[in-house]
Structure 1
Amino acid sequence: MLSRFKFVDRCPKPTVDTGCTFCRPALPLPIKQGPLHNTAASPWKHVLILSHGYRTIFDVPSNIYNVPGTAQKLRQLGSSRSPDFPVLISHVFFSNYREVPSKPENEVVYLYPDNLRIEFDRRHLQQFNDKYLLPANHQPAQPVYNPFQKPVPTVPHSAKVDSDSEPSPIDSSVFLVCGHNTRDERCGILAPPIVEELQKVGKETDIFGYITHVGGHAYAGNMIIYPEGIWYGRIVPEHVQGVVEAYGMGHVIRDLYRGPV
């Protein structure tokens, strides 16, 4: 999808002050300077978990993998995955849109670059992993032989997830800003005014919100735009109008671009 975009050197300047367009929040540490291009590690798949149970981004612990839940289990299931097919797992919080599972026991995720909304029973997490997060013809890593360990019988998993919950395409563009305050305070300080500006100047059909740590918080504010997978760094509220304008014109801003995701 990114192939249809072209690069422009600079971010267009804002045309109106919405109230905090030119705000520059004070930060406890400076933002890292220097070229941004190729400072992002691109995952093969990105799982956005929406039904994680946290009320706000500020309630999320610093490492989502250390807390029992879907993120931790997916990471454990991925331990046999080849490093050539990395999967990034994030919690997201939409500020202008609400996603609710059809059943309390279900999980709702957005999956990119597949651009799919997928709902499934949490008991079927293994099937979700096998169907969407493993490459074709995947061969799991063989454990090191241990003559003292008793063999554990394995049960083959079906590739089927939930028959009553078919994946559906995501029709909206999604703008996500890292606001993982417990991971890095700079993200927690910068993200709220950026998201507020997005809500004021973005299209009504677009979705805006927060995402947990994606890497490179030294380049806060980090912004990811899906479905194209545009990853920006060092965003401040003053950039938002230009980012939205450039995106609408099919442009990627070179001096803010960290890489694809």
Structure 2
Amino acid sequence: MYLSRWCRSAAFTKANSTIITRHASSQPRSRIHLPPPFPVIESCPLPTCACRPAPTNLDIDREHSLNGTMAVYAEQVLVSTGRDDWKSRIEEEDEADFVRELKGLLGRGGKFCDPYYNIALTNSSFSPTDPSSGTSAYLLPSFLYVPAIPTSKSSIENFVKAFLQPADLHNTLNVLSPEQKKLLTGDPSLQQQFLKVVDVDDILVLICGHNGRDRRCGIMGPLLRSEFEEKLRMKGITPPTGTPVQGPHDKMVHSARVGLISHIGGHKFAGNVIIYLPPSMKSNALAGTGIWYGRVSPEHVEGIVNETILGGKVISSMFRGGIKKGGELLRL
């Protein structure tokens, strides 16, 4: 679920029309193709050991280019639900007060709607720290874990202001009043209201397994989760115990959390996998980034573990896009 890109107001419409006019041109522009600012290999290496068989009865799009099919977003809010599947619209779940309120604030017509700062709101199978204390969520690619977000309206509004708004607005929003600008600008001082926020030091492997939305991901998700867990374990990368806690960031071998997530777009490209490599992986060229892959099958998992998670290389044939801290997008 992607929020903010659908919101509109008279001021935003005026700003958008200004952009269109400014960039309109009858003359084509030449483009200089520069190499991507990260290591790349063309295709995924063949597996060297046995892997689970891939389903053969899924309608997977294998024709269109994957590059650039990742939705544009500044931050992904990954909600810990402890469940493997959800209703097609995650806000319709019985215990989705946090998701519903957040969508209301950031979505179309919402109080904090900013068309230039898109937030991805996603459920995950990771267990919350303490459900009685509120919602637990990962913030990526900020690589933060917030263990307890109270579900009152005022607390969720403070959460948005503390973590999910930019320090500076897009320059086309200069047409807004000072009050409107302040409403859409973040206030990091509010972060102190949220206790025990920690830096994420684990590798995160997120696999769309949203069967309630599309059977292709519903079938591929659990299969890929088992494959990733096995192939990571073979490399000595094991799951951490419990939910994230603050710890040292100079480990030579990181632990990895592998989980299922809700809809991220592109079901026709199943399996869809997002890999977040923490900034503490200093020797990895992709440290501090999120890498999106599509058309992932079990036979690709060993190669992804070796080349991307351990080797810091993007596999271009499967690459949907990427993101760095601060919202900088990665493209081939």
Native 8 Å contact 2:60 2:270 kept in 1:
no
Alpha-carbon distance, 1:243 to partner = 0.3
1:56 equivalent in structure 2: 83
Name the TM-score, length of structure 1 as normaliser: 0.82
Structure 2 counterpart SS, 1:47: strand
Alpha-carbon distance, 1:134 to partner = 1.2
Alpha-carbon distance, 1:108 to partner = 0.9
Supply the RMSD in Å over aligned alpha carbons. Answer: 2.5
Structure 1 counterpart SS, 2:71: coil
Once the two structures are superposed, residues 91-129 of structure 1 have per-residue CA deviations (whole angstroms, 9 ceiling, x without a partner) of: 0114xxx5422x613211100111001122222111101
Native 8 Å contact 1:27 1:186 kept in 2:
no
Native 8 Å contact 1:46 1:113 kept in 2:
yes
Residue 115 (structure 2) pairs with residue 83 (structure 1) = yes
Alpha-carbon distance, 1:158 to partner = 9.6
2:157 equivalent in structure 1: 126
1:151 equivalent in structure 2: none
**CA distance, structure 2, for counterparts of residue 89 and residue 164 of structure 1:** 19
Native 8 Å contact 1:4 1:250 kept in 2:
no
Alpha-carbon distance, 1:81 to partner = 2.2
1:253 equivalent in structure 2: 315
**Which aligned runs of 4 or more in structure 1 are off by greater than 6 angstroms?**
none
| Structure 1 pair 5–12 and aligned structure 2 pair: CA distance change class (3 A) | same
Alpha-carbon distance, 1:161 to partner = 4.8
| Structure 1 pair 136–25 and aligned structure 2 pair: CA distance change class (3 A) | same
- Paired residue total: 235
Structure 2 counterpart of 1:57, one-letter code: D
**CA distance, structure 2, for counterparts of residue 163 and residue 131 of structure 1:** 9
Identity %: 29
Structure 1 counterpart SS, 2:307: helix
| Structure 1 pair 187–104 and aligned structure 2 pair: CA distance change class (3 A) | same
Structure 2 counterpart SS, 1:90: strand
Alpha-carbon distance, 1:64 to partner = 1.1
**CA distance, structure 1, for counterparts of residue 46 and residue 190 of structure 2:** 49
Native 8 Å contact 1:131 1:160 kept in 2:
yes
**CA distance, structure 2, for counterparts of residue 229 and residue 164 of structure 1:** 25
Q: How does 1:29-178 map to 2 (within 5 A)?
A: 29-50=59-80, 52=81, 56-58=83-85, 60-67=86-93, 68-78=96-106, 79=110, 80-94=112-126, 98-101=127-130, 104-119=132-147, 120-123=149-152, 124-137=155-168, 159-161=189-191, 163=193, 165-178=195-208
Once the two structures are superposed, residues 170-191 of structure 1 have per-residue CA deviations (whole angstroms, 9 ceiling, x without a partner) of: 0111001100011110001111
| Structure 1 pair 136–5 and aligned structure 2 pair: CA distance change class (3 A) | same
Native 8 Å contact 2:272 2:296 kept in 1:
yes
Q: How does 1:224-239 map to 2 (within 5 A)?
A: 224-227=274-277, 228-239=289-300
| Structure 1 pair 4–208 and aligned structure 2 pair: CA distance change class (3 A) | farther
| Structure 1 pair 105–76 and aligned structure 2 pair: CA distance change class (3 A) | same
Once the two structures are superposed, residues 25-47 of structure 1 have per-residue CA deviations (whole angstroms, 9 ceiling, x without a partner) of: 13353334221101111211100
Alpha-carbon distance, 1:137 to partner = 5.0
**CA distance, structure 2, for counterparts of residue 100 and residue 27 of structure 1:** 38
Once the two structures are superposed, residues 53-101 of structure 1 have per-residue CA deviations (whole angstroms, 9 ceiling, x without a partner) of: xx5323x10011344421121111112322110000000114xxx5422
Q: Structure 1: which 5+ runs fail to align? A: 143-156
Structure 1 counterpart of 2:139, one-letter code: L
Name the TM-score, length of structure 2 as normaliser: 0.65
Higher relative contact order (CA 8 A, sep 6+): 1
**CA distance, structure 2, for counterparts of residue 69 and residue 63 of structure 1:** 13
